[in-house]
Amino acid sequence: MNLKRYLLMPLETAPLLLAGLLAVVQTAIIMGGKLLALPFMLIFASWFFKYCYALLDALAAGETEPPVLSYEMINPLNEQRPLAQLGIVALSAWITWGAWRVAPVAGVATGAALLAALPATIAVLSMGHSWLQALWPPAIARVIHGMGRVYPLVLGITLGAAALIGALLLWYLQSVFMIFMLVHLALLLVFSVIGGSIFERRVELGFDTLSRDERRAGRDRRDFEAERGRMLDRAYAALRLKRRQDAWGEIRVWLGTHATGTGALGEYHTLFNAVAAWDDPAIADRVTSQYLDRLLAAGENGQAVDILAIRLGRHPGFRPATPATTVRLRELARFAGRAGLARQLETDPPLPGPGPS
């Protein structure tokens, strides 16, 4: 776990500026002593906790940069998890107080257990579950078990932040601004570490998330597939107009650009499947010939025989582009015990196999 990155995340520009700005505003409200101080304090506290959950979500998704405060974060109807978390904390305090009234030892034990489960309840809410799930002991236990050895670290940081906040409230430093600032940073630290822990242990937690790099890779892959589809549409349209040279030109340029390196065989296979069913076999025959040459050069002899069989099954008139390839495939087919396939290559094609030059 890259603990250092998550510990330093509250000191990044966006969260640090937000913590400082809210501390200034809240200090001004407290010092002003106005009648509307409490409502405004609740509003700004709501904004701050919504940002905490936005930070947690970003890190749980593998983001490397903290989010910037946006309208969605200050919309009172957009995010209910801070309110649900407040309810969970209040309910935990009420249960602890009830246990304390029965027996002090029971109160201490209950409070310790509920405090130990606090990071897990935040994690449950962050993973899209309802507040009822965040109260359900088996769901909490699954999160704790999924985080494994990371959870004691998360709990220790949470308890340290809680102790700092408690100490600030008890000692009441002379600087109100510093109290708010340190409280903000402590809470941001807790949410940052919890979010990072979810991402680091996402497999064990069964949390289906994508990092920024993974999302970017997925978007690039979709864009690439769409571009390939447009190229195939152009090639097919040209082929329907009997412009075989133009159709092959589209595919030849594409293969020259994208069928390179370690992904060359995969790109050839995709195009092989895409053009196999076209009415005019010219393009499919040419793609198959080049694909077979690439497979043989890469030592993929078994796959070359399979591709040959698939193409001959669709177009019995297909023949490899060169005599050397034909001889090699005949030998491989016999060696693989596919005598019928070898005999097909020994006879003249029953149908002409026109193809672009």
The DSSP string of 78-92 is T--HHHHHHHHHHHH
Residue 59 has pLDDT above 50, yes or no: yes
Q: Which amino acid does the sequence have at 71?
A: Y
Domain boundary at 209, 238, 263, which?
A: 209
Residue 354 pLDDT: 45
Say if residue 194 is in the same domain as residue 243.
no
* Average pLDDT, integer, range 253-266: 89
Say if residue 57 is in the same domain as residue 89.
yes
Q: Which amino acid does the sequence have at 326?
A: T
Residue 287 pLDDT: 94
Residue 353 pLDDT: 45
Say if residue 14 is in the same domain as residue 70.
yes
Domain boundary at 209, 243, 266, which?
A: 209
pLDDT digits (tens, 9 = 90+) for 80-98: 788 888 888 888 889 989 9
Phi, psi of 160 (to 5 degrees): -65, -40
Instruction: Give burial (CB, 10 Å; 0-12/13-18/19+) of 12.
Output: middle
* Average pLDDT, integer, range 44-69: 84
Residue 356 has pLDDT above 50, yes or no: no
Across 54-63, 73-82, 217-226, least confident range: 73-82
Q: Torsion over CA of 112, 118, 120 and 126, rounded to 10 degrees? A: 180
Residue 210 has pLDDT above 80, yes or no: no
Q: Is residue 53, in this structure, part of any structural domain at all?
A: yes
What is the pLDDT confidence band of residue 279, given thresholds at 50, 70 and 90?
Answer: confident
Q: Report pTM.
A: 0.57
Domain range spanning residue 252? 227-346
Across 23-37, 176-190, 321-335, least confident range: 23-37
DSSP alpha helix (H) spans, 259-352: 264-275, 282-297, 301-314, 323-335, 339-346
Say if residue 199 is in the same domain as residue 236.
no
* Average pLDDT, integer, range 74-84: 71
Residue 250 pLDDT: 93
More confident residue, 196 or 213: 196
Across 215-229, 269-283, 317-331, least confident range: 215-229
Average pLDDT score over the chain: 84
The rounded distance, in Å, linking the Cα atoms of 329 and 305 is 7
Number of structural domains, the chain?
2
Is residue 126 within 8 A of residue 139, CB to CB? The reply is: no
Q: Distances from the Cα of 282 to the Cαs of 110, 130, 291, in angstroms?
A: 77, 58, 14
Is residue 191 within 8 A of residue 55, CB to CB? The reply is: yes
pLDDT digits (tens, 9 = 90+) for 138-192: 888 888 888 888 889 888 988 888 888 778 777 765 677 888 888 889 889 999 9
Strands (E), 7-130: none
Residue 37 pLDDT: 67
More confident residue, 319 or 261: 319
Q: Is residue 200, in this structure, part of any structural domain at all?
A: yes
Q: Is residue 195, in this structure, part of any structural domain at all?
A: yes
Residue 175 pLDDT: 73
